[in-house]
Amino acid sequence: MQGGAPGHRLRVLFVASELFPLAKTGGLGDACAALPASLERLGADVRAMLPGYVSALDAACDKRTVARLADGACLLLARTPDTGLPVYLLDWPELFRRPGGPYQDSGKQDWPDNLRRFASFCAVAAQVARSGDGSGWQPDLVHAHDWHTGLLPALLALHPGPRPASLFTIHNLAFQGNFPLDAARAQGLPEALLTPDGAEFYGQFSCLKAGIRYADRLTTVSPTYAREILTPAFGAGLDGLLRTRAGDLVGILNGIDTLLWNPAADASLPVRFDVDHLAGKQADKAALREELGLDPDADGPLVVGVNRLTHQKMADVILQALPALLDQGAQVALHGQGDPELEAALLAAAAGRAARCAVRIGYEEPLAHRLNGAADIALTPSRFEPCGLTTMYAMRYGALPVTRAVGGLADSVTDIATAHPDRACGTGFAFSDPTPEALADCLRRAGTLFRDPVAWRRCQRAAMQRDFGWEMSARRYLALYGDLVTPETQTRPRPGPISGDNGGRPPALRPAVRWSGAGRAAPDWAEAAD
C-alpha cells in the first residue's frame, strides 16, 4: 500500500485507549487490535499508540524507551504478544499505573482525573504525529478512536504548519468524554476549543465533539449506525454537528479476528468443531452445563448472553423477560458486568432457578469463548448498537442471535422469518420494540425453530458461513486513507466553517497555538519542532 510520494509505504499512527490483549473492556479493544493487523497484511506500515496501563506494560514484548518526558514519563516502543504489532506505550506512572480498569477504579468509579489522563495522552500522540518518534518514523495519517482520543485531531488541526491527515472513528456516540469547562481550561487547552464553535457542548467540554469537529474525515462502525446518528433519536445531542459533516462521514462495518474467534482452532473449547462437524458443539454444551451447574438433561435450547449488563444492552429488559424465557423451557447463561443494581438483580433471579439459569459477573475471555461454543441461541439485544461484535462472535460459533434490528445488528443479522426463500437462509431472529414482550416473542420464535432440527441446522450453517473477517473492511479503510494522503494534502488547514445546530464561524487563532500536554509536561524531544 502506497500513500503520499511514489514508492512510499503508507505510515499510519493508530491511537486508541484499548487494544487487545494489552487492554480491553469491550469491542473497542478487539477492533483496535484486529484492524491494524489486517492493514499491515495489506501493506500499510501501522504503529499503534496506547496508554501505559499496568496490563499493557506487563503483556507487551520487546519494550524499549524511545523518548523521555517530564514528570518521570517516557514513551516506549514495544510489540503486542500475539501479532507482533508495533505499539507505542505512554508510560506515565502518575496517570496510568493504577489498579482497576482503564477508566475506572476497582470500585467502578470514574477516575476523577480522566480528562488530564487522556488529554496528556493526546498531547504526546500529537507530538509523535507532527515530529515523529526520533528514529525517523513519522506518520502520514493519524487514525484516532472514540472520545479518549478526540482531542488528538483538534490539537493537530489547531497547530500551525505541516501535519498528517486525521481520521476519527466513532465506536459509540453515547460515550462522549464530557467534563466541566473549567476543568478543560485548567489543562491549558487552547481557548478556541472551549467555545461552541470548538468543543463546548451544552456548557461542558466534550472530547468526542472535538474529534468530530476537527478531524479531516469521520467513520463509524456500521452503515446503519452512520445513518442513525444523523437523527435526534440516535444522535445523543450531536446530530446537528454530524449532519453538517455528513459528507465526511462513512459507515464501515467492523470485522472480527477470525483466527482468534474460530471454533475449529479455539483452545478455550473442550471440543473443537466447524461448520461441517458440529458434534463437538454438543459436547461443549454438555461441558458448560456441568461447569455452570445447569440441568444436564434439559431438552430446550441453551440461551447465552455475553455482554455488558447495562441499559444500552437491555439488561433491564432481559431481567423482566427472564421468567417467561425460562417458562418456555430454555436454559439461560449470562456473563458480563455493568450496572451494580442489574448485576445483583440478575444474580438473585438466577439463584431461585439454579438448574435453569446461571449468571457469572465479570468478564473472562476463555469463558466467553466457551459460552459461545456451547450456545444454541445468543442473546444480544440493544437499545442502540454501533456494531455488535458479540453477535458476530456468536454466529461464528453456530449460536443464532436473538437481537434488535438497530445499527450494526441490522447490518449483520438476517431475520429468519423475513429471509427471501430464493436467497441465503436467515441467520438469526430480530425484533423492533425494546420491550420484554417483544424479546419474549422473538425468543419464542427461536424456540419453535429449534424444535425443527433440519431447519435449525440449515440456519446455523448459514450463520457460521458469514464472512465477518476484517479484510473487506480494512480495504475500505485503506481506500479512505488513500483519499486523505496525497502529496498535495500533506499540509492541511483546519476544517472550514461549520453551520448548523452546533456550528458557526471558527474563531481566529494566533499565529502559534502551543500546548504543553495537560498544562504540565511536554516531550523534551518535541520542543524544537514547534
pLDDT (tens digit, 9 = 90+) per residue, 128-163?
999 998 888 999 999 999 999 999 999 999 988 899
E-strand stretches of 389-436: 400-404, 429-431
Q: Residue 191: is its pLDDT beyond 80?
A: yes
Residue of 449, 477, 475 lying closest to 463 (CA atoms): 449
434, 407 contact by CB (below 8 A): no
Burial class (CB in 10 A: 0-12, 13-18, 19+), 508: exposed
Mean pLDDT of 40-60: 97
* pLDDT the model gives residue 529: 29
In the block, which residue shows the cell 486508541? 16
What is the Cα Rg of the chain in Å? 24
Residues 6+ apart with CB under 8 A from 172: 28, 146, 386
496, 105 contact by CB (below 8 A): no
Confidence of residue 519 (pLDDT cuts 50, 70, 90): very low
Return the H-helix or E-strand segment holding 169: strand 165-170
* pLDDT the model gives residue 275: 96
- CA pair distance 61, 137, nearest whole angstrom: 20
Longest dimension (CA), the chain: 75
Mean pLDDT of 265-283: 96
* pLDDT the model gives residue 7: 59
Could you say which of 3.40.50.170, 3.90.79.10, 3.40.50.2000, 1.10.10.10 is the CATH number of the domain covering 279-464? Answer: 3.40.50.2000
pLDDT in tens, 64-81: 999 998 888 999 999 999
- CA pair distance 430, 66, nearest whole angstrom: 50
Residue of 135, 152, 175 lying closest to 51 (CA atoms): 152
Report the mean per-residue pLDDT for the chain: 89
- CA pair distance 428, 401, nearest whole angstrom: 5
Strands 200-201 and 165-170: unpaired
Residues 6+ apart with CB under 8 A from 423: none
10, 16 contact by CB (below 8 A): no
Residue of 289, 268, 333 lying closest to 307 (CA atoms): 333
Q: What are phi and psi of 67, to 5 degrees?
A: -160, 145
3-class secondary-structure state, position 296? coil
Burial class (CB in 10 A: 0-12, 13-18, 19+), 401: buried
Mean pLDDT of 477-496: 72
Confidence of residue 233 (pLDDT cuts 50, 70, 90): very high
Q: How many CB atoms lie within 10 A of CB 379?
A: 29
pLDDT in tens, 399-432: 999 999 999 999 999 999 865 554 558 999 999 9
* CATH architecture of structural domain 11-255+473-489: 3-Layer(aba) Sandwich (3.40)
Q: Where are the domains of the chain?
A: 11-255+473-489, 279-464
Return the H-helix or E-strand segment holding 278: none
Q: Residue 115: is its pLDDT beyond 50?
A: yes
In the block, which residue shows the cell 477516575? 111
In the block, which residue shows the cell 477508566? 103
Residue of 219, 129, 244, 155 lying closest to 496 (CA atoms): 244
Confidence of residue 352 (pLDDT cuts 50, 70, 90): confident
Residue of 360, 377, 355, 357 lying closest to 309 (CA atoms): 360
Confidence of residue 27 (pLDDT cuts 50, 70, 90): confident
* pLDDT the model gives residue 515: 33
Alpha helices in 263-314 (DSSP H): 279-292
Mean pLDDT of 313-338: 95
Q: Residue 505: is its pLDDT beyond 70?
A: no
Mean pLDDT of 285-310: 96
Strands 204-206 and 178-180: antiparallel
Q: What are phi and psi of 23, to 5 degrees?
A: -160, 135
Residues 6+ apart with CB under 8 A from 267: none
3-class secondary-structure state, position 385? coil
Confidence of residue 504 (pLDDT cuts 50, 70, 90): very low
* pLDDT the model gives residue 424: 57
pLDDT in tens, 162-171: 999 999 999 9
Q: Residue 506: is its pLDDT beyond 70?
A: no
* pLDDT the model gives residue 265: 97
Task: Say which range, 199-208, 315-324, 514-523, has the weakest mean pLDDT.
Answer: 514-523
Q: How many CB atoms lie within 10 A of CB 202?
A: 10
As beta bridge partners, residue 168 has 144, 218
Encoded amino acid at 281, one letter: K
* pLDDT the model gives residue 107: 86
C-alpha cell at 440: 419474549
Burial class (CB in 10 A: 0-12, 13-18, 19+), 135: exposed
Q: Residue 322: is its pLDDT beyond 90?
A: yes
Burial class (CB in 10 A: 0-12, 13-18, 19+), 161: exposed
* pLDDT the model gives residue 5: 52
In the block, which residue shows the cell 477470525? 258
